[in-house]
Amino acid sequence: MFRTALTASLFLLASAVGLHGQVAGESPSAQDEAESLAREVEAKVAETRGLAYRHPTAVGVSDEADLRDYLGRKIAESLTPQVADAQLRALALIGCYDRDTDIVAATTALLEGQVAGFYEPSEKKLFLVRRGEAAGALAGMDKIIMAHELVHALQDQHFDLEKFYDEVAQDDDMLNARRCLVEGDATWAMLAFGQGLPMTRFLVNQVPDDRAGLLAMLEKVKKMGMGGQMDLGMMGAESLEAAPVLDVDELVFSYYGGARFCLALMKKDDDPKAADLARLDAAFRDPPLSTEQVLHPDKYLGDRDDPMRLELPDLGPVLGDGWTKLAENTFGELRLRSLVRQKGFDRARATRIHSGWDGDRYAVWTKPGEADVLVWASAWDSEKDELDFAAAAVESVLADPAGETGTWSRQGGRRDWQRQAFGLASGLRIGDERGVYLVHQAPAQLREALLNALETGTKWSEIHSTAKDR
């Protein structure tokens, strides 16, 4: 996924909660109608979200060509060809993308098929998207899309969305966590605007929060013949099916997992019909530090479980001349969840594996004429969690297409796994004291040195949340 602030409402939002538009006799869609719709709903949106507008929000209408231009520009801002190539090679080595994916084209197609409206922070303006023949049917959705985008306008006026994203642009997992807060907030408030808070709590707890779940649900809706002549429930389903699983999982989760997180934050035990909106505002000043905290709100609330920050050592001297670092980032629990589900581990095992996550950092090193080398250090909540992840990594990330399984050995508290073929080696180490270290596709003679450097050179520190004065 790209790394800039795109705040949009998607068709999947409407489809998953059974919102269907009424087919209007004629397509309204004019600029001044969008304008008057904004003025009509903004007071109720402000009341639902508990924030006041500091100025009216500018409103525009985009057609499909405008949307395509906009997405092209927006995606290119952060996903330059170089960044896209590095990201693809890194995530393909870990096993969440096919190596031949065009991630710029895939991201663009996914969003083109999904975006029904968006808010642009740099212009302080929201846009409704008009789509040819669908415009009439979409008219019934206009109100909730407008409500969603007006929440983004409120967020931007109070919490500066561009800054909110820019601060963590270098860390994919922190960026994903903040995206969950921004989109989850707009999603619960949009639903509460239309259906009230108790119904919103019910819906958000029912809705699947990954690609497989959402597509299965859409299929069921289709079989039941719901949706009438214009099935909005199926709108955009093609773009979900065609896109890389990881991208769709992240996208779907940011809306529904994010909404669940927001509702958990605001919960008032004594009154299920009320919401403690001050706690939601506080989360924008003191955002979740990982998708782990979004997936498990109890790790953000109360006794907080902040992630470990792992700083990888410079492996240049170990690798030798000609090697350079192509990419480095944090993978995070949400991506790990997507990966282990994609790899076909049963649900209970998959949950056990990703739930033990406590921090990670991976890097990919490259040299012309050599295979890319992946190194990955990770922190886990317990020794059992280390073993669960290590076993899963050996079966999935490090699995040999030819079926060679590798060998384990043990020395004191340290466990090593290794496999090699055609001069390339993969290795995994459960550290003497803590951590799991992984090396994939390294020149065989360097595997041991790389694992040693990773185990002894990775710096561990606690990330502490610091409530900032925003």
CB of 182 to Zn ion, least distance (A): 7
Which one, 214 or 375, has the nearer CB to Zn ion? Answer: 214
Site for Zn ion in 290-349 (CB under 5 A): none
- Phi first, then psi: give them for residue 463, nearest 5 degrees: -90, 125
Determine the interface stretch with Zn ion among 1-9, 94-102, 169-177, 289-297 (rule: CB under 5 A): 1-9
- Phi first, then psi: give them for residue 196, nearest 5 degrees: 85, 160
Residues in contact with 117: Cβ distance below 8 Å, sequence separation at least 6, in sequence order: 8, 9, 126, 127, 128, 129, 145, 146, 148, 149
Which one, 48 or 101, has the nearer CB to Zn ion? Answer: 48
CB of 49 to Zn ion, least distance (A): 13
Determine the interface stretch with Zn ion among 3-11, 227-235, 273-281, 432-440 (rule: CB under 5 A): 3-11
CB of 470 to Zn ion, least distance (A): 19
**What is the rounded CA–CA span in Å between residue 368 and residue 323?**
8
CB of 382 to Zn ion, least distance (A): 36
Determine the interface stretch with Zn ion among 4-12, 35-43, 84-92, 259-267 (rule: CB under 5 A): 4-12
Cβ atoms of 308 and 378 closer than 8 Å? no
Which one, 183 or 360, has the nearer CB to Zn ion? Answer: 183
131: its two tokens: 């789509």
Report which secondary-structure segment, H or E, holds 262. Answer: helix 245-266
CB of 410 to Zn ion, least distance (A): 50
Which one, 7 or 418, has the nearer CB to Zn ion? Answer: 7
Which one, 185 or 455, has the nearer CB to Zn ion? Answer: 185
CB of 266 to Zn ion, least distance (A): 18
Which one, 115 or 312, has the nearer CB to Zn ion? Answer: 115
Residue 214 backbone class (left: φ over 0; alpha: ψ -120 to 50; beta: rest)? alpha
Determine the interface stretch with Zn ion among 103-111, 177-185, 282-290, 423-431 (rule: CB under 5 A): 177-185
Among 88, 94, 135, 186, contact with Zn ion (rule: CB under 5 A): 186
Determine the interface stretch with Zn ion among 185-193, 198-206, 270-278, 323-331 (rule: CB under 5 A): 185-193
What is the pairing mode between strands 308-311 and 357-366? unpaired
**What is the rounded CA–CA span in Å between residue 120 and residue 70?**
10
Per rule CB under 5 A, count of chain residues that contact Zn ion: 3
CA 213 to chain centre: 16
Q: Does 239 bind Zn ion (CB under 5 A)?
A: no
CB of 218 to Zn ion, least distance (A): 20
> Which long-range contacts (C-beta less than 8 Å, at least 24 apart) are formed by 456-461?
456/313, 457/312, 457/313, 458/310, 458/311, 458/312, 458/313, 458/361, 458/377, 459/310, 459/311, 459/313, 460/308, 460/309, 460/310, 460/311, 460/379, 460/434, 460/435, 461/308, 461/309, 461/311
CB of 183 to Zn ion, least distance (A): 5
Q: Degrees (nearest 5) of the Cα angle 202, 206, 212?
A: 160
Q: Does 114 bind Zn ion (CB under 5 A)?
A: no
Q: Does 7 bind Zn ion (CB under 5 A)?
A: yes
List interacting residues with Zn ion (CB under 5 A): 7, 183, 186
